[in-house]
Structure 1
Amino acid sequence: MQKLNFPQYSFRFKNSENRTMAFDEIRKKFIVLTPEEWVRLHVVQFLIKEHNYPRNLMNVEKQIKLNNTTKRYDVVVYNNDGTVFMIVECKAPNVAITQMTFDQIARYNLSLNAQYLMVTNGLEHYFCQMDFENKCYIFLEGVPSR
């Protein structure tokens, strides 16, 4: 897999039916290793190891309902009270981060109401704080503190 703009982390791999699988410590299972999954695995480790986000307050790849359609978010980090602290949208490294990516995470946030957003393709990372009063987001220099 491609080297990403994250520190190097160790992952558990196995082969199954001619596919490489990686262990996701949040979902507690092996998943097919795709380029987007590679980014998602790194994001989780980055938040846990570099920024001390508690793994027990993270959720990965869960469904949400948006306007009668079912979508899946990549990573959600919760506050201790169960409210959503941050949503992370992951793209494969070969996918450019565009306004469409920010529109996607903003739609998810209509139902999740996160205080912070992170968008990454593993090479570029963007962090935003929501300004609910003015219905916009403010770009941040780095990962929000917990």
Structure 2
Amino acid sequence: MAIPILPALSLPESELEVSYILASGPGGQNVNKVATAAQLRFDAAHSPSLPDRIRERLLELAGTRATRDGVIVITARRFRTQIRNREDAIERLVALIREAAHRPAFRVATRPGRAARQRRLDGKAHRASIKRGRSTRFED
């Protein structure tokens, strides 16, 4: 079964490796006995599903969650059950891939025009005169 990410991009579940580890946090004595935290591993560097542009940006955005080999490791321990933690880990991976797929808008750097600079200076002069008027001067 494939996990939908974008309309033109989906990720097969066979590329994900989920293991369960002991978790801290809520769960009472159960937390000491049952491995409920989900640890998801996704080999982004060798994934045939990802285009090169998204792969590079994904590994950049993953930061410390990515190993040197290009494997992204996400640990989910927010919930008390394995299933909810597994779903949480997959949702976090999908959100990360969507963020990597987003192309930032191209922006041309511009400089303020002469009128804008003049308005700024006029505003500063006006504010300075207001502050100057607040100072109390005692003349003898």
TM-score (norm 1): 0.27
**Bigger share in strand:** 1
**Bigger share in helix:** 2
TM-score (norm 2): 0.28
- Which structure has more RCO (C-alpha within 8 Å, separation ≥ 6)? 2
